[in-house]
Structure formats: C-alpha cells, structure tokens
Structure 1
Amino acid sequence: MITRIFNSFLLVFFSLIVFACSEDDQEIIDPTDDVTGGPETPEPSNPEAIDLSSYDNGSRVMMQAFYWDVEPRFEWWNNLSAKVPGWADAGIDRIWLPVASKGQSGGYSMGYDVSDYYDFGNFEQHGTVETRFGSRTELENLISTAHDNDVEVIADIVINHNSGGGLQYNPYREYDTYTLFDEEHGNASGMFNRTYEDFYPNSVSEYDPGSLFYAETNLDHHLDRVQKWLWKDENSVAKYYKNVMGFDGWRFDYVKGFEPWVIKEWLDEVGGFSVGENFDGNPDVLRDWIEASGSPAFDFSTFYKLEESLDRFQDLTNLEKDMLWKTDPGNAVTFTANHDTEKDDNVDNYIASENKLKAYAYILTHPGYPTIFYSDYENESFQEELKTLISIHNSIAVGDTEMLYIDEDEYVMKRSGTGTNPGLILYISINNNTKRRTVSSNWNNVTLKDYSGNTSYSPTSDENGMVQIEAPSNGYAIYSITK
C-alpha cells in the first residue's frame, strides 16, 4: 500500500515537472496566450527572397548630417561631400545641415548662437573666417554635390534669438543690451543690420512671452522691417538661402519661441520642404501647431513613446498610445535621436544604444517620414543594419497599418501593401528568449522570410493566411513574401 502511494506520488510529481517544462517551451516557441492560434508550419530550407529594389514605393529617408560639436572643425562640409553619394545610394533623399551661418562662438559655434545670417564662412568676425564647418566655397560645393546626387539640402533656420552684437543703450529696458548688429559688431556682411528697435520689447510690440531665452535679442516678427529681412525682400534670408545658396527647404529651430503664422508666411513666400522643432511629446500640441503653421513637425510624441517602451518603462504597450503619425503621417517627421537628445547624457530624452535598432525598425516600417541620425548611421556596428532597414522602408513599408498583437514585451504590426506590393509584418520583442507567435497575414499558402536578416526562420502561411512568426531575443524581425 505504501509503495503504491509512493509510486502515485512520483507519477504526479514527474507529471508536474513535464507540464512546467512544456509551459516554458510554449512561452519561448509557441506562447499559450497566442490569441490567433494555428498550427506550426514546416520551414523550407532556403526560400528565395524577392528583389526589394523592384518594389519602389516612392518613400525615402532624411539624414540629420551632424551631431553636437562635430569634429574635425573646419572640415565638416568636405566630410559630408564625401559621404553624400553613398547616402544617396542607400536611399537618402534629403540632408539636414547644421546652422550654416556664423555664430557668436566663431570657429567653435554650432550655429545656434546666430549672429550674421549671410556669413557662411567668408567674413572675418568672431575670431575666424570659416565657420566651424568650413568655408562658404566648401558649403556651396556640398550643396552642388547633393543636387548632383538628387539629394535636397535642408537649412537649419534660427529666426527668434540672435547673439554676438555690440553693446548699446536700450531705452526700452533702460540699460545697455547687446542689440547692435552692424558691420563692426557681429554682422560683417552688412546685410540685415539690427538695433534694439528690432527686438522685443520696442515701441511697437510688447515682450514676447514665447521667448524662453535670449530675451534681450529676440527678433520682433511683428515689425514689417524684420519680416522684409527674414522672408519678404529679394535679399531676405529665405530668398537668399534658396536662390543664391541653393537650399531646398527648412528646419525651423525652437518654434515655441515665436508664433506659427511666421512659418506660414515664410512658406507662402518661398515654399520648400519644412519641418519644425516643437519639442513637445503631446500629439495634440503638435497637431495644433501643424494646422497653424502649415508645416510638418518632428514627431516627438513617437520619440517619447519609443523611449518609454524600450528604455524608461520597458513596456511595449506604450506603443498603443496616441502619436502624431497615427492621425497625420504626412506631417510626421519621425526620429530616434538628434543632436539634442544625444547631448550631455540626457536621461529622459534618450534611447539607449542597445535599443536604437529596434526603434529604427519601428520608424522605418511605420508611416511618417523617418530621419536617421548621423552618429547612428556612421556607427560601424549599426550601418549595414540601417541600410537594410532603409531598403525595406523604401520598398515594402507601404499600405494600411494594423497592430496584430501587443503586450509588455511583444509588438506585432502589419503593413497591408498596395497592388502588387506585398507589404510586411514587423515583430519586436524585448523578451530575453526567442519568441514565436501565430498571426494573421495577407498571404495565403506563401513562404515568408525575415528581410531584416535577424532570424533564419522561414515559415509558410496556411490557406487562411495564418502564420507563425519568430522574433529573436531582445530584437526584431520583418517578414514578407518570397519568390
């Protein structure tokens, strides 16, 4: 009797062990919470990939062609000129340059302390002739090289705060301010000379509460004279940059510092691609600004949701929340890093290096106009994978977007494709195990392939389009059809 009871106990004990092991296997290979079900399908040995270059969807990618405090100084324009042909071959159609004119910090300036809008490295002031990036001739050569490679050049425009002027008495403030910009004081070009009358406050306008810094030298856009110099006159900043220098569009810096009608009037006058830096994670704020300005905006709402999902909270369900691209993809310029987020070890405005490629996989498969950050692309451990993602973006990242599954550590999204373009399925996992999940595809009885190259798994869909896909440990996969 004791023996029989002991044997029964052993049987139950070993059954529990087997059941537990089976549950673990299912979590890794075929999760029990698989909401779509479906049998696991056999894997063909080596399915032949489709030629992605034959599926040009017309979409391209922008390159932010700088980082904070670029090196070597005085050689940046030449450095970019050498890289542009390779970027164009990879699928880049625009390069966003740093502020190209002379700043108060001279040869050390990144341009955001703008002094002389018309000094591109050809006037002696602030201790240097060349800007940090090089000479005007080298800039003109870069723009020409880009155009020869069908790449547009985007100028970074700072049109609220100025720096580097001379000291003068300011009767509106009743003390001396650095508001004198003439040929001897920070404006050697002699164009757009300014005095305290051109900045807030003055006899025409009250102090602009939108200016959070450089308050004493914040340009007053309500003045007709300032409007003429910035965008209306034939030699205005906008028209000079477009017609003389050859810039094709605009990245408007710090748009919280001035009213959106300024950008609307600028674009009505000169046109061109544009994007505004409205540093705000609230998608409603971005939508309101887009409507008022008539310009696309950097999609900070998506940036922050990626940062929260991959870094801060490590919870992919944050990707269910509202983002600009979900309602207005044509005006959403998406990104995973820029010169500000990568500066000074930002904690709350930063996606860690180990999560960057998952973030890029997201923005390069979803709607919106993606931007690649220079330092990421030129990172040798990232570059080939980014080239692959750009190729996928420019070819099969097309059609309606449908989220197929989401939980804390898994995210599956489908692009439906259009016409003969098959579309894709993105599978992101932040789990430490290899994951598999059965989802609904658009493809019946078709063998799939992971075009990211992160897995060798090649499942076949069933007659109803159900297919079991795989994501590598803490990584992503992008599936589409094979030949």
Structure 2
Amino acid sequence: MFSKLASWFSHAFESPPSPLLYMRLGPEGRDDNPLMIQFFTWDCLHNSLSWWKHFETEVPRLAELGITQVWLPPPNKAAEPKGRGYDAYDLWDLGEFVHKGTVATRWGTREELLHACKVANEHGIDILIDAVLNHKLGADHTETFRAVPVQESNRLRNAGPPRQIQGWTSFDYPGRGDKYSTLHWHHEHFTGVDWDQTTRTKGIYRIAEPGRRGWSRNVDPELGNYDFLLGVDIDHRHPEVQEDLLSWGKWVLQTTGATGFRLDAIKHIDRKFTLKWIQETRAAAGDKSMFVVSEYWSGNLKLILPYIKAFKGETTFFDVPLHMNFNQASRERTRYDLRKILNNTIVQVKPNDAVTFVDNHDTASLFPAVEGKSLESWVGDNFKIQAYAIILLRGYGYPCVFYGDLYPNKECYSENIARNITLLIEARRHFAYGATDDYLAHPNYIGFVRRGDATHSGCAVILSNKEDDSGGHIHELRMNVGVENAGKTYASHMTKHGRVEIDAAGWGTFSCFANNVQVWTPLEQAD
C-alpha cells in the first residue's frame, strides 16, 4: 500500500516532457539545426502549376537550404472550389472526388499531393498536415432543429427564445459515399451554426434539441465560451465524431507519409478531446516522437500557459506573444527597447515548448476579417530581418520560416528581405550552435554569441532598430566568443566586407549598421 502511495506522489509531481526534446523535428541521422517552413500564404496560387506540383519542384532547394519540416496547407476538400481548406468540407477527400464542382482542391489532386510528399521524404524533408478539426462548412443539405440564438460578445447569454431553424448541417458526401469513412454528419454531431436558412439570418445559434449538452466547457473562456468560431461547430464529445476524427488522424499520416500535424484553432476545441486525439493518433502511428504544433492565438502569455500545462507536453505551441512583440517593435521603431523583445513570451519561459515565427498566413495585411475581426499583426519590413535573426540564430525555440517572406508573391514579398533571410538560414545551418550568451547592451542595439560545438565554430550576432537617415551610423558591441577563438579573425556573413580580430581573452568588438543585422563568423569558415 505504501509503495503504491509513494508511486502516486512521484508521478503526481512529475514535470511533463519537453516537446522539443523528444519530438521528431526532421529525419533521423541529421546533425544540422532543424528548420520548419510554412509553404503557403493565404492567397497563394502558382501561375502554371498546381500548388502541390510547385512544392515538389521546390523540394531540392528546400533541402539544400536545410529545411527539415514543411507545414503544408490543409489538404482536405473545402466548401468552395478555391477554398484554402480552413473552410473544411470533407477531411477524407484529398482531391479525389467530385465535390463542390471539382475533383482537385485549391492545391491540386490527391495524386499530386502524395507524389510531392514522396519526393520530399526522398530529400530528407518531413511533412506536417494542417488539421482543421474545429468546424465544417459547405453542407450538402439543410436540416430543421431547435436552436437558441446567443450573443456574439457572450455566447453564454441568449439573444432570444428557442426556435426552430434550418441549418446547413447535413454532410452526405455524394461523390465519396462511404469510402474511407461511413460517417455522414448531421445536426446531432454539432453544437452550433451561424445561419438560419428559414429566415436567412446570420447569427450564432446553439443547437438545443432534447438531450443536447450545449457548448463544451473545456474551451477558452473568451467571449464567455469560445466553443463556436465559425461555420458549423463540431461537438467533439459525440462518440461518432471522436471515432471518425481519430480514424482520420491515423489514415492521413499513413496515406501521405507525413510525420506530424499543425492543429488549427485549438482554443475552440474541447481540450480533453484534443489531448486524446494527439495521444491516440501518436499511438496509432506507432511513433512516440510524432511532431505536433498547436495554434492558440493570443498574445497574452498568461492565457497560453494553462493550455501548455493542460496538454502535458504532448504538443508544442506557436509563440504568438513573441510575434506580437515583433509587431510592436516594427510599429514603434526606434522607440522600442530591444532589451525587452523576449519578455512575456513562450520561448523565454518555456523554450522547449515554443515554435517561433515572424509572420504567417493569418498575420498578412491582406488576410480578410473573420466575424468582423482581423488577426492582422504584420511585422513591418523595418524589423523583419531583426526578428528572423532572433528566431533563427538564438539557441532557444524551434523556428518556422514563412513562404511569404522567402518566395515571390503578391501579398508581402521583398526581394531584399528574402535575400537576407536566406543568408540567416545559411548561418543557422553552418554556425548557430552551442550555448547562447546575450549582450543586452542598449535599447536600440543588442547582441548574442553562439559558442559553437564540437563540429561547428559558432557565431556572433548584433542587431539594431535605430533609424538613421544618413545610412552610415554604425553600432559597436564588445562580445566574448571564447578563448578557444583567441587570435582568430571573424568576418561579416551578411555583407562580406568586415573583419574583427579576437584578443587573447576571446573578446572582439563587433559592429552593425543602424536598423540592420550583422552575423560574424570565423574567417576560415566565412565564404
């Protein structure tokens, strides 16, 4: 009895595992720093190729850059022919069946997707599936049921009496039939809808048929209860729903050869189900290291930390607070104190839970508002490279590069920024190893040193947000790169023209132009 009690106490106070220390961040056997890319923007389409074909043609370049994981857009059939997949119609249709007037998704056909994934795997790149599990859109038929309108600002408060409405809740999948899954969705599989077809009225309606339990309690408390986000909200407590989504997780990994997931909008999904889904999908895949990153969209670290705790180390989280700091720095320019750039971020307090990023498809300035609100928080060009230097070259967190910042596109591309990001990715692959020493010298310029390891020499980095109209102001910062580098000469990696001599104690005076970034590496490896 005593031994059982002792065992219970020991497990009760165990810390959850640190995701980035056990999850797969790329193929086994690679010694280079891992790196993820989000390979799409909101409006992206290729001029002559399907998106899957475009991705396939870029695989060799991505492998050469050192990309180890690619986050692809949702591969499922959308409610609209050009829908991005976040308007999820059928998770099981990867571009195989005639639905919504098309076989292909916005991104291409099932065959193109599977071939692109195969080519990526052959080049040592893992695939991540964007899983949209919160809602559905584009039902095949309406159904009549009892519902209660609720307030937009507080979903726990009714906005009127119960009534009969017609909602788009019948998903029959006539093109697919029962292939892969026999579940045809109806109103009993959902908690709410956003449209009454009878009155043609948009609103939030909680389904209130007899025996229904209303909104899930295990969701974010924003707006009273944030179970409902958009479209037709899935009830993740329903046994048939659980069975279908759990089966899909295992199936999509096996079908595509993917090794992990990006989970969309988890603050709106029942936490208990999401945790169960991750654990059981990982077990079904037979891969304890299966990678998972979750989107909990909030810049408030205090709101995110309870979610991190609730998921017991089973998923990483995008560091939205860090992104918000980058956005603020780009807006405030010289007035922003760079010494505070990591304050109140996931990477600062739980670095092995943090997937860091600068921008993504949600933050782009052209991203449309959802329910009258926008996630727009674009990091301006004046701070883009500084932000990338922080996520790519410091030794904490796991960075994700955005397609929109690296590839030509109509939404947000800058050739100069793309060139500099490429240089930073090269520095990450070849030099950014070992312990990180920070030099928080001044509100407008800071630096850090990577000490290197047995096979990599390390680097020194300095960045500035000081606006300089003359274009000639230079910051200087004295940093120590270790006595093992005494007598060496460091060269500038970004501009290929500077030199720094390291003294007998390992110190050097490193420089950077105002409102810029410089990376310094030992001369014999700076080519």
TM bucket by the smaller chain? Answer: 0.7 to 0.9
State the structure with more CA Rg.
1
What's the Cα RMSD here?
Answer: 2.4
**Offset, 1:212:** 4.0
**Offset, 1:480:** 3.0
Unaligned runs of 5+ in 2: 1-29, 149-163, 192-206, 217-224, 283-289, 368-373, 409-414
2: CA distance, partners of 1:446 / 1:368: 32
2: CA distance, partners of 1:331 / 1:77: 30
1:272-351 paired onto structure 2 within 5 Å = 272-293=290-311, 294-314=314-334, 315=336, 316-344=338-366, 349-351=377-379
**Offset, 1:405:** 2.4
Structure 1 window deviating more from structure 2 (369-378 vs 67-76): it is 67-76
Q: Deviations over 1:281-330 (max 9, x none)?
A: 22333333223222001111211112222333541233152321123222
- Asked if the contact 1:423–1:480 (Cα under 8 Å) also holds between the matched residues in 2, the reply is yes
Q: Give the one of 117, 124, 135 matched to 2:91.
A: 117
1:229-308 paired onto structure 2 within 5 Å = 229-231=244-246, 236-271=247-282, 272-293=290-311, 294-308=314-328
Task: Output the amino acid matched with 2:101.
Answer: G
Please identify which structure carries the higher helix content: 1
Task: Output the amino acid matched with 2:435.
Answer: D
Please identify which structure carries the higher strand content: 2
Q: Do residues 359 (structure 1) and 387 (structure 2) align? A: yes
- Asked if the contact 1:143–1:153 (Cα under 8 Å) also holds between the matched residues in 2, the reply is yes
1:44-59 paired onto structure 2 within 5 Å = 57-59=31-33
Q: Deviations over 1:255-278 (max 9, x none)?
A: 111133333212211222111111
Q: Do residues 392 (structure 1) and 427 (structure 2) align? A: yes
Larger relative CO (CA 8 A, sep 6+): 1 or 2? 1
1:134-283 paired onto structure 2 within 5 Å = 134-165=108-139, 166-172=141-147, 174-184=164-174, 191-200=182-191, 201=207, 203-208=211-216, 209-214=225-230, 217-231=232-246, 236-271=247-282, 272-283=290-301
**Offset, 1:187:** 7.4
* Paired position in structure 2 for 1:50: none
* Paired position in structure 2 for 1:84: 59
CA pair 392-258 structure 1, distance change in 2 beyond 3 A? same
Secondary structure of 1:129's match?
Answer: coil
1:12-91 paired onto structure 2 within 5 Å = 57-72=31-46, 75-91=50-66
Task: Output the amino acid matched with 2:318.
Answer: F
Secondary structure of 1:147's match?
Answer: helix
- Asked if the contact 2:492–2:499 (Cα under 8 Å) also holds between the matched residues in 1, the reply is no
Instruction: Give the TM-score normalised by the residue count of structure 2.
Output: 0.75
Q: Deviations over 1:89-147 (max 9, x none)?
A: 110011111111111112x1011110111111111121211111111111111111111
Structure 1 window deviating more from structure 2 (61-70 vs 387-396): it is 387-396
Task: Output the amino acid matched with 1:244.
Answer: T
CA pair 68-420 structure 1, distance change in 2 beyond 3 A? closer
2: CA distance, partners of 1:256 / 1:172: 23
* Paired position in structure 2 for 1:467: 508
1: CA distance, partners of 2:517 / 2:84: 36
1: CA distance, partners of 2:502 / 2:463: 19
- Asked if the contact 1:164–1:185 (Cα under 8 Å) also holds between the matched residues in 2, the reply is no
Structure 1 window deviating more from structure 2 (168-177 vs 89-98): it is 168-177
Secondary structure of 2:501's match?
Answer: coil
**Offset, 1:420:** 5.3
- Asked if the contact 1:126–1:186 (Cα under 8 Å) also holds between the matched residues in 2, the reply is no
1: CA distance, partners of 2:83 / 2:432: 39
- Asked if the contact 2:134–2:234 (Cα under 8 Å) also holds between the matched residues in 1, the reply is yes
CA pair 186-180 structure 1, distance change in 2 beyond 3 A? farther
Task: Output the amino acid matched with 1:442.
Answer: G
Instruction: Give the TM-score normalised by the residue count of structure 1.
Output: 0.81
* Paired position in structure 2 for 1:4: none
2: CA distance, partners of 1:478 / 1:426: 5
Identical amino acids, percent of aligned pairs: 24
- Asked if the contact 1:342–1:350 (Cα under 8 Å) also holds between the matched residues in 2, the reply is yes
CA pair 434-455 structure 1, distance change in 2 beyond 3 A? farther
* Paired position in structure 2 for 1:453: 494
- Asked if the contact 2:464–2:514 (Cα under 8 Å) also holds between the matched residues in 1, the reply is yes
* Paired position in structure 2 for 1:403: 438
- Asked if the contact 1:63–1:372 (Cα under 8 Å) also holds between the matched residues in 2, the reply is yes
Unaligned runs of 5+ in 1: 1-55
- Asked if the contact 1:427–1:478 (Cα under 8 Å) also holds between the matched residues in 2, the reply is yes
Structure 1 window deviating more from structure 2 (373-382 vs 295-304): it is 373-382
1: CA distance, partners of 2:215 / 2:316: 27
